[in-house]
A and B are shown apart, each in its own frame.
Chain A
Amino acid sequence: MKEDKTMSKFKLVSDGLVKNNPTFVLLLGMCPTLATTTSAINGLSMGLATLFVLVLSNMAISAIAPVVPDKVHIPVYIVVIATFVTLLQLLMQAYTPAMYETLGLFIPLIVVNCIVLGRAEAFANKHGVGESALDGLGVGLGFTCSLTVLGLVREILGSGSAFGYNFIGGHDGMLAFVMAPGAFLCLGYLMVLFNKYLKKN
């Protein structure tokens, strides 16, 4: 991980988006990635939910890291993350009940999302609150973008619509793309494209 203190703020955010993209480069958080991206809207909401938890838990963990005994740091981090997830869950239940129903089990599962704990371990406990917030924002945006793109591709191929707007009339899409095999296929090919782009630059 980057230990360079002179790293610009912009780079902190853009690294999470491209070079350390959690989905296409680090392959973290595969469970929500594959399960919730049946449509662009679902992918976007899952990404934003994770972004919310990621920024707040990164900030809280970087603030308490100096006083947490090393032996119990993982349980402490998990409790911190779980607190924010519970917060998110109650907020979503109150203000976006439809999305809360759709994402269902995958909201509480953010607690065990590798990305959140991974950023806490790899970045937040070694850096300041501000930097950690930016890192969480970058990685969270990277996750949100990947999930939205994956959801968009699957929605276009699987249901013939984009962000809920149907453009093929009464026809059916390719149902396989709404199911699990389509998620794996799309993820694989998007990863190919992403890595090709990274190699070119």
Chain B
Amino acid sequence: MNKLLVSPSPHIHSKDSTKSLMLDVVIALVPAIICSVVFYGWQELLVLGVSVASCVLLEWAITKYMLKKPSTVGDLSAVITGILLALNVPYTTPWWVVFIGAVVAIGVAKMTFGGIGQNIWNPALVGRVFLLVSFPTYMTTWSKPAGLFGVDAVSGPTPLGTIQEGLMQGSSVQELTSAYNYKDLLFANLGGSAGEVCALALLAGFVYLCCRKVIKPWITLSIFATVALTSLIFWGINPDRFTDPLFNLLTGGLILGACFMATDYVTSPMSLWGGVMFGVGIGFLTMMIRYFGSYPEGVSFAILIMNSVVPLLNMWFKQKKFGRK
């Protein structure tokens, strides 16, 4: 192989590579992985294993046999897709459903568009939404964490699902939310997908990524701010119909989505203001889907919709050219 690469200036050398950045993301996800395995037990480990293994194998097979290009498995991006997909589905999902999700994530959403760096939508989210639409029975049967050593898993809807059903039956939000306290939400004592339950572990990973300067915090922060502000306005107008800001920040896939999915390098805008607009869009759409949509949770749809407008945001908020004032 030719070791000498000729490229135009400036010749800035950095120790960062795709692999080192992705490794940092994997490290940041470790607390959430540990947390979910402890809460859910070996079934969650099986989901994680199947998801990561099939994502990596599929990417390897597609690059080798269909594209006939050098393999991109080594950059660890498929591992992250696998982990995120696993954290996005209930731990009771059968292994073949997880495998289908991996096929859609890697095969359809990533490799069809040309592999890493060229996909329009976050692969793990495309896989998740495909499963949600295709297998609603598996994807919405949530179970309360049974624990690594416990056996009595209780199946029940997520907090957001409970609220939506309750509202349809005419109960007010206050009676419905009184069943949850914020400490439970923060420390994962409720039904949900693995990534939904462990807010604190996910936030720890987010702080790690910001400290290592792997991701810029503005996308995540603008999502949180928009969700808080939007729900504050609606809650302020009618607390009987709309849930309060803290509840919205802590439930559902918001923290996982905002910290790890929306900040994906490939599918988020490049500039600061582009990123802020991107975050505002995600936050607003999420709240609109939660309050008025037919699905109880809308983070994944909101991120995918905003992924689609990233090229436009990149055009509106162009980065300054190097050396330009």
Residues in A lying within 8 Å of B, measured CB to CB = 172-177, 179, 181, 185
Chain A binding surface, main DSSP class: helix
**A185–B134 touching, CB < 8 Å:** no
Give every chain A residue within 8 A of B176 (Cβ-Cβ): none
Closest B residue to A185 by CB, please name it. B108
Chain B binding surface, main DSSP class: helix
Give every chain A residue within 8 A of B135 (Cβ-Cβ): 172, 174-175
Complex: A177 Cα to B104 Cα, angstroms: 12
Give every chain B residue within 8 A of A176 (Cβ-Cβ): 130, 133-134
Complex: A185 Cα to B211 Cα, angstroms: 40
Q: How many residues of B contact A (CB 8 A)?
A: 8
Give every chain B residue within 8 A of A175 (Cβ-Cβ): 133-136
The proximity string for B residues 82-111 relative to A, scoring 1 for CB distances below 8 Å and 0 otherwise, is 000000000000000000100000001000
Residues in B lying within 8 Å of A, measured CB to CB = 100, 108, 130, 133-137
Complex: A177 Cα to B133 Cα, angstroms: 9
Give every chain A residue within 8 A of B130 (Cβ-Cβ): 174, 176, 181
**A174–B100 touching, CB < 8 Å:** yes
Closest B residue to A188 by CB, please name it. B112
Measured between C-beta atoms, what is the minimum distance from A100 to chain B in Å?
A: 29
Additional 16 contacts, C-beta under 8 A, given A176-B130, A177-B134, A181-B130: A172-B135, A172-B137, A173-B134, A174-B100, A174-B130, A174-B134, A174-B135, A175-B133, A175-B134, A175-B135, A175-B136, A176-B133, A176-B134, A179-B133, A181-B133, A185-B108
Measured between C-beta atoms, what is the minimum distance from A130 to chain B in Å?
A: 44
Measured between C-beta atoms, what is the minimum distance from A171 to chain B in Å?
A: 10
10 A-B pairs with CB atoms under 8 Å apart are A173-B134, A174-B130, A175-B133, A175-B134, A175-B135, A176-B133, A176-B134, A177-B134, A179-B133, A181-B130
